[in-house]
């Protein structure tokens, strides 16, 4: 699971920003240690979306 920050910690409001990502994501450059050789590919097949103004109101929808 890859979690992106979607609410502001200071104002408790939703961060309105589109995020674009490829269907396959290479996580090798983001590892703290360079263990292994070659790409470490993950394929996205689902997304969880929040519809609402704050973290205290709204609904979550999962698209698989």
What does the pLDDT look like over 2-56, one tens digit per residue?
767 777 777 677 777 787 878 888 888 888 776 667 888 988 888 888 888 777 7
Cα–Cα separations (whole angstroms), residue 5 to 19, 32, 34, 36, 60: 11, 20, 25, 28, 15
How do the domains of the chain map onto residue ranges?
7-64
pLDDT at 57: 80
pLDDT at 20: 81
pLDDT at 35: 66
pLDDT at 49: 83
Residues paired with 7 in a beta bridge:
14
Predicted TM-score of the model (pTM)? 0.49
pLDDT at 60: 85
Which value, to the nearest 10 degrees, does the dihedral of the CA atoms of residues 35, 19, 44, 59 take? 120
């Amino acid at each position: 699971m890859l979690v992106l920050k979607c609410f502001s910690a200071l104002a408790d409001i939703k961060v309105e920003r589109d995020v674009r990502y490829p269907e396959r994501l290479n996580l090798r450059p983001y590892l703290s240690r360079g263990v292994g050789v070659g790409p470490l590919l993950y394929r996205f097949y689902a997304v969880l979306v929040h519809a609402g103004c704050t973290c205290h109101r709204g609904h979550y929808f999962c698209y698989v």
